[in-house]
């Protein structure tokens, strides 16, 4: 099965991508993973990508497309895949469609994780990261025994810039601006399905798998 997973930051997309891909025995192909490899490797492409990601903006198409094409050409992606983080906009979706047509195939389904902005802010703005060991806590969902102190190592907890409400709202705006037309594109293609991404991770996975089973029947 050839799938694309879309959803706003904070919808648990990375986690869902992993679970769904493993249920279906297909590789999860995440632009996030490819970006991180480039960034930590300090490649020119990685440095460029990092400038955009640090601002909460999206990486330019030509950078992303080159990486995705290589990845989709690999052996393990020939029987199916789940794309996470690509395509992000209509031009990328057009490129992907053409790319897959060259490979003699096409997407089966696009799953959209649906969750409202305030829920995303509640999830992300509550995160606190330990300065010493890097462990992430949540003031509501996973609070340390003593506020501001890491249970694991006694280190000081702080809020990463990425987790500040204004950064999150900016990322959601960027997401909306770029993704709404993408979602409309796939709706026109007749392969878009929405999955309610509110609530516990396992429930969301079950909803997504129910949709995929319906499609497979
Ligand atoms: Zn710690």
User: pLDDT in tens for each of the 217 residues of the chain?
Assistant: 999 999 998 888 889 999 999 999 999 998 888 878 778 888 888 888 888 888 888 788 888 887 888 788 889 999 999 999 899 889 999 999 999 999 999 999 999 999 999 999 999 999 999 999 999 999 998 999 999 999 999 999 999 999 999 999 999 999 888 889 999 999 999 999 999 999 888 999 999 999 999 887 6
| DSSP-assigned beta bridge partners for residue 196 | 114
Asked whether the beta carbons of 84 and 32 are under 8 A apart, the reply is yes
End-to-end Cα distance, the chain: 13
Task: Report the binding-site residues for AMP.
Answer: 31, 36, 57-59, 85-88, 92, 160, 171
Residue 161 CA, ligand 1 centroid: distance in Å: 18
**Helix (H), strand (E) at residue 4:** strand 2-6
Of 62, 114, 113, the residue nearest 92 (C-alpha): 62
Catalytic residues: 13, 88, 127, 160, 171
Instruction: Count Cα neighbours of 48 within 13 Å in the Cβ-side half-sphere.
Output: 9
Q: Let me know the angle formed at the C-alpha of 50 by 175 and 130, rounded to the nearest 5 degrees.
A: 90
**Helix (H), strand (E) at residue 184:** helix 165-189
C-alpha 174, offset from chain centre: 14
Task: Specify the pLDDT at position 217.
Answer: 67
Residue 41 CA, ligand 1 centroid: distance in Å: 26
Residue 121 CA, ligand 1 centroid: distance in Å: 24
Asked whether the beta carbons of 147 and 140 are under 8 A apart, the reply is no
Residue 10 CA, ligand 1 centroid: distance in Å: 23
C-alpha 32, offset from chain centre: 7
pTM for this model (two decimals): 0.79
Task: Report the binding-site residues for Zn(2+).
Answer: 130, 133, 150, 153
Of 192, 168, 190, the residue nearest 180 (C-alpha): 192
Task: Report the binding-site residues.
Answer: 10-15, 31, 36, 57-59, 85-88, 92, 127, 130, 133, 150, 153, 160, 171, 199
Residue 137 CA, ligand 1 centroid: distance in Å: 9
Residue 145 CA, ligand 1 centroid: distance in Å: 12
């Amino acid at each position: 099965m050839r799938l694309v997973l879309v959803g706003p930051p904070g919808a648990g997309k990375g986690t869902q991508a992993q679970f769904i891909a493993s249920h279906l025995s297909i590789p999860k192909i995440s632009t996030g993973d490819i970006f991180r490899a480039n960034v930590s490797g300090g490649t020119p492409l990685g440095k460029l990508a990092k400038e955009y990601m640090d601002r909460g903006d999206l990486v330019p198409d030509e950078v992303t497309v080159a990486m995705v094409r290589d990845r989709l050409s690999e052996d393990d992606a020939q029987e199916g895949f789940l794309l996470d983080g690509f395509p992000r906009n209509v031009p990328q979706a057009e490129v992907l469609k053409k790319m897959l047509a060259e490979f003699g195939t096409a997407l089966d389904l696009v799953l959209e994780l649906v969750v409202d902005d305030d829920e995303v802010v509640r999830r992300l703005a509550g995160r606190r990261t330990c300065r010493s060991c890097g462990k992430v806590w949540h003031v509501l969902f996973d609070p340390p025994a003593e506020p501001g102190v890491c249970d694991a190592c006694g280190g000081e907890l702080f809020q990463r810039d990425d987790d500040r409400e204004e950064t999150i709202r900016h990322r959601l705006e960027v997401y909306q601006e770029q993704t709404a037309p993408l979602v409309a594109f796939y709706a026109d293609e007749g392969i878009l399905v929405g999955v309610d991404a509110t609530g516990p991770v396992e429930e969301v996975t079950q909803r997504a798998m129910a949709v995929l089973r319906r499609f497979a029947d």
